[in-house]
Amino acid sequence: MSVLFISDLHLEAERPDISRAFLHFLTTRAHGAAALYILGDFFEVWVGDDAMDDFQRSIAAALRRLSDTGTHIWLMHGNRDFMLGKRFCREAGCSLLREGSVVELYGEPVLLLHGDSLCTRDESYQRLRRRLRNPVSLWLLRNLPLATRHKLARKLREASRLRTREKAAEIVDVTPEVVPQVMATHGVRTLIHGHTHRPAVHKLQIDGENAQRIVLGDWDRQGWVLEVDERGYRLESFPLD
């Protein structure tokens, strides 16, 4: 059985084309897979498990149906949905996956990231990221009034859009020299991540050995999936409709 990787769906009720494509994906491509890994920014915004609406619950129910068939679902936080918590995972039948986890795929250790931690040249974003991911900050955020959380989420989304538009492309992309350092630290020759919306397979050399960085694509104009099995790694796109 294969293992599937997706990221950056940015699911929201305002994009029914993406949610329809994802629900179809769960009942077709993902059905029968050994595992499905969702590497962050699954939702466009997430202000807390206590604020789940009908749309988000429908997504959780669809994940649960896949999980009940035996496919193990792993969910990693992204920069848009880092407040996803245990309540959602219970409803969805999935497990939270720590950023920077190393998993074994067909005998090979593979490093999994959302990808924003690799964009070290965007120093202002990295400072914000450290503040927001601090456990104390997370506790405070989760206990803010719901209206305040929604207002803050809107401000963060707008700041993200401005940062992407105004900063040079190389600033909001990964820092090339950081990639082999991180991979060497974790002792891997394959890294899989999303976040940058630049799907590709990058060939590298680490300590004289062949290596690869696989970047997952975002689901906007088309869907993207990485399939891994005993034959290797295949990054593929497909139409949303």
The DSSP secondary structure of 117-151, one letter per residue, reads: GG-TT-HHHHHHHHHHHSHHHHHHHHTS-HHHHHH
- Please give the C-alpha separations between residue 9 and each of 20, 92, 131, in angstroms, as whole numbers: 12, 16, 25
Ligand-binding annotation for 80, yes or no, is: yes
- Residue 66 contacts residue 26 (beta carbons within 8 Å): yes
Place of tokens 């609406």: 53
Task: Report residue 74: phi and psi, to 5°.
Answer: -115, 135
Among residues 168, 207, 212, which one has the least CA distance to residue 189? 212
Between CA 194 and CA 202 the distance in angstroms is 13
Ligand-binding annotation for 17, yes or no, is: no
Ligand-binding annotation for 24, yes or no, is: no
Ligand-binding annotation for 8, yes or no, is: yes
Ligand-binding annotation for 2, yes or no, is: no
Ligand-binding annotation for 49, yes or no, is: no
- Residue 100 contacts residue 62 (beta carbons within 8 Å): no
Ligand-binding annotation for 95, yes or no, is: no
Fill in the DSSP letter of residue 49: G
Ligand-binding annotation for 10, yes or no, is: yes
Ligand-binding annotation for 114, yes or no, is: yes
Give the residue ranges of the annotated binding site for Mn(2+).
Answer: 8, 10, 41, 79, 114, 195, 197
Give the residue ranges of the annotated binding site for substrate.
Answer: 79-80, 122, 160, 164, 167, 195
Give the residue ranges of the annotated binding site.
Answer: 8, 10, 41, 79-80, 114, 122, 160, 164, 167, 195, 197
